[in-house]
Amino acid sequence: MIFTKTRSLIAVAILGASAFGASAQDYSVENPECIAPANPGGGWDFTCRQVGKSLQDLGLIDKTMQVVNLAGGGGGVAYAEVVNKRNDSNDLIVAASSATSTRLAQGAFPGNTMDQVRWIASIGADYGVIAVAADSEVQTLPELLDQIKSDPTSVSVAGGSAVGGWDHLKVLIAANAYGIEDVRTVKYIAFDGGGEAVTQLLAGSVQAFTGDISEAKGFVESGDIRVVAVLAPERLEGEFAEFPTAREQGVEAVGANWRGFYGPGGMSDEAYDAWVAKIAELYASDEWKEVMAVNGIAPLDLQGEEFQQFVADSVTQIQDISREIGIIK
């Protein structure tokens, strides 16, 4: 089943900051910068801004993190920018997620591969959601999928990743689990970030939204959208406990979006070790645990070589999923 492969993307490992040696302590980040490969309001933007704020609050960086939004190509514009123009920038990190490994797995970044950058660390995992506008007649995930099954042209689903990207795959995984034989009939419309996708949902241009909890949270709180399914193995805790899972509605679909960072391939070892150590210390802090709890982020603690291997495994597994549902041959 596809969902079991998706579940295998989520793993937990512990690696202390002390493992990175004195070189990490010797390097000072002078002008911290984070590229969010999408417009403001989405998950990558959240990752850059929240991590930047927390790093400064904890004294791990001395200056405010400059966040640059560089949208396009499902992350491809930012990836090419780093590889081709910023390859030796030691103070630069880039927000990444399952959407990044998905695009790499599908060869959607022309001429670019995962080994052209240095994978730094994860900061958690963000479970996927499928949502509708608050005033929609659709109340459950099966109702939405029934509409798609009976008339695929009647439902457009918006997401913040490119066609064939992770947001798209989440809907296809749910459709496949529900028995929609040709998931390529599902009408998906890509936007540059989850915030823009939700805006189109509220405008009535599309009938459903696929994204992650961190993207949907603010719109749920404002009463604009209603989550019909969270793609978690079981109900989440705290304020997210009200969201029904796909599983409890009879749809065996689980999908979590890892979140983390990569840096330029030509980044020095000293700078790389320093960023790895800083993200490790951030992850271990009480402040970050609170951020995770408030935003529904699940544990995923990987740094350095272990994170690099995790991304490599993710790319391989997503290639398998993509072939199974016909995205790639």
% of the chain with per-residue pLDDT over 90: 71
User: What is the reported pTM?
Assistant: 0.78
Q: Spell 120-142 as b/e; 16+ CB within 10 A means b.
A: bbbbbbbbbbbbbbeebebebbb
> Which tokens go with 184?
């390529």
pLDDT in the model for residue 25: 58
pLDDT in the model for residue 163: 86
Superfamily of domain covering 2-126+256-324 = Bordetella uptake gene, domain 1 (3.40.190.150)
Evaluate whether 2-126+256-324 and 128-249 have a shared fold.
Answer: yes
Q: Write down the H helix ranges in 38-164.
A: 43-57, 76-85, 98-105, 141-150
Confidence at 246, pLDDT banded by 50, 70, 90? very high
- Cα 325 to Cα 313: distance, rounded to the nearest angstrom: 19
Residue 11: pLDDT over 90: no
Could you tell me which residue, 237 or 37, shows the higher pLDDT? 37
Residue 242: pLDDT over 60: yes
Tell which CATH classification among 3.10.28.10, 1.25.40.10, 3.40.190.10, 2.40.160.100 matches the domain 128-249: 3.40.190.10
Confidence at 327, pLDDT banded by 50, 70, 90? confident
Nearest to 327 by CA among 178, 165, 211: 165
Q: How far apart are the first and last CA of the chain?
A: 18
